[in-house]
Amino acid sequence: MYNLAEKIFPICRSITGNGVRLTLEYLKEEFADMKIYEVPTGTQVFDWNVPKEWNIREAYIENSKGEKIIDFKDNNLHVMGYSLPIDCDMTLEELKKIIYTQPDQPDWIPYVTSYYKERSGFCMSENQKNALQEDVYHCVINSELREGSLTYGEVLLKGDTEKEILLSTYICHPSMANNEVSGPVVTIELAKWLASLEKRKYTYRIIFIPETIGAITYLSRHLDIMKKNTIAGFVLSCVGDNRIYSMVETRYGNTLTDKLLKNVLRYHYPNYKLYDFMHRGSDERQYNAPGVDLPVCAVCRSKYGEYPEYHTSADDLSLISEEGLQGTFELMKKCIRALEYNCYYKVNCLCEPQLGKRGLYPTISQKGSYDAIVDMRNLLAYADGKNDLIDISNQINCSIDMLIPIIDKLEENGLIEKSDLSE
């Protein structure tokens, strides 16, 4: 996964434009069944309109000696996103009015955009700005803002039922590693793994969209089917560093997705950080908006807005790692396996079944002899048709990973039956 991250890291993405298209092409190389869609500028999407398309070829600031003091080629964060073209000379005083810095992190270039008000701007470190001398600077932004379209990618993997699980990630930030490339990289890997499964109970809707306007655009086209079918969903963002795991709850923290994530994180990554919906920030904002009401949580390692390198040039490839990406991939596989197994289970007889005659029970009874089968007995005690697998796991304090082989054994012996959640 890290190799793919390296490939797409340098691309200058924004919420529209060729950076998005090029990123989607790389992803399509990994997973050929991805479909790519274009939505024209001006299209009404709920309370919004698809904005003009922005592209940029080059940008720099040159001093009077002809030295480039910053250059878009070195770091695409140097240009404020959606900057209008300029080509002019400026005094230091004039220049400073269109330079953006992050004064509390003086070594780093901040990530700044102005999507919905037309202006031009450069970004640099606070230290570099402070070191600028009086001079006449030649400022060039060779960009274009015009009618065009918004681009997104979609993978649909059919399952046995129409009920869907949503995976959503964004492809709209320039060169940042954790807060951009980690999301699509892990998500495309999950698409490949899901496509490789022999059997899928659920249908998977996997989308690669520009944040906010892309989610709004996508929802405006698919809201009815998504409201009808979605049983769980995940926004994947900032999933490549090696620090703790975290999640953001839905609006009321009470959906199947919340219950599932809290269960899996509790058993496998118990020092994870739980954020309530006050701490939302990515596309879970749209999925959980009133009237949209989809059961979608955000899954992160170091959550956006909560780690120092966030939205700066320090969020580079050194911040993420193969291990970091792989960790999230494994977490998501555990979640998906748990969802695929999740249903209401019911024991098939009255009173405890006689496990001994089926070879599932120690034949000698002595203090301590039942310790080995405590999880099986507890599962049977709560398989009363009122609990799904996650409830049982929570109730009997045993991870779903450990319950799955027990369920297989009990089903083989005809001792429990399932009643599907989606029925």
Does residue 267 belong to the site contacting its own copies (CB under 8 A)?
A: no
Tokens at 157, concatenated: 């993997």
Choose the binding region for its own copies from 21-29, 56-64, 133-141, 217-225 (rule: CB under 8 A): 217-225
Size of the site for its own copies (CB under 8 A): 60
Which of 3, 133, 196, 366 is the binder for its own copies (CB under 8 A)? Answer: 366
Does residue 10 belong to the site contacting its own copies (CB under 8 A)?
A: no
Distance CA 238, CA 245 (A): 10
Q: Which long-range contacts (CB under 8 A, 24 or more apart) does 409-417 make?
A: 409/360, 409/376, 410/376, 410/379, 410/380, 413/358, 413/360, 414/348, 415/347, 415/348, 415/349, 415/353, 415/358, 415/380, 416/345, 416/346, 416/347, 416/348, 416/380, 416/383, 417/345, 417/346, 417/348
228-247: contacts with its own copies (CB under 8 A): none
Give me the amino acid identity at 414: G
Interface characters, 103-122, with its own copies (x: CB under 8 A)? -------xxxxxxxx-x---
**What is the smallest separation between the CB atom of 195 and its own copies, expressed in angstroms?**
30
292-311: contacts with its own copies (CB under 8 A): 292-293, 305, 310-311
Choose the binding region for its own copies from 42-50, 134-142, 146-154, 182-190 (rule: CB under 8 A): 42-50
**Are the C-beta atoms of 56 and 22 separated by less than 8 Å?**
no
- 3-class state of residue 116 by DSSP: coil
**What is the smallest separation between the CB atom of 374 and its own copies, expressed in angstroms?**
8
Q: Which is nearer to its own copies, 11 or 347 (CB)?
A: 347
**What is the smallest separation between the CB atom of 192 and its own copies, expressed in angstroms?**
30
Does residue 402 belong to the site contacting its own copies (CB under 8 A)?
A: no
Does residue 97 belong to the site contacting its own copies (CB under 8 A)?
A: no
Tokens at 15, concatenated: 């919420």
Does residue 48 belong to the site contacting its own copies (CB under 8 A)?
A: yes
Residues whose CB falls within 8 Å of the CB of residue 169, separated by 6 or more in sequence, listed in order: 183, 184, 186, 187, 207, 208, 209, 235, 236, 237
Q: Which stretches of the chain bind its own copies, using CB under 8 A?
A: 46-48, 80, 100, 102, 110-117, 119, 212, 215-216, 219-220, 223, 251, 277-278, 280, 285-286, 288-293, 305, 310-312, 346-347, 349-354, 356-357, 363-367, 378, 381-385, 396-397
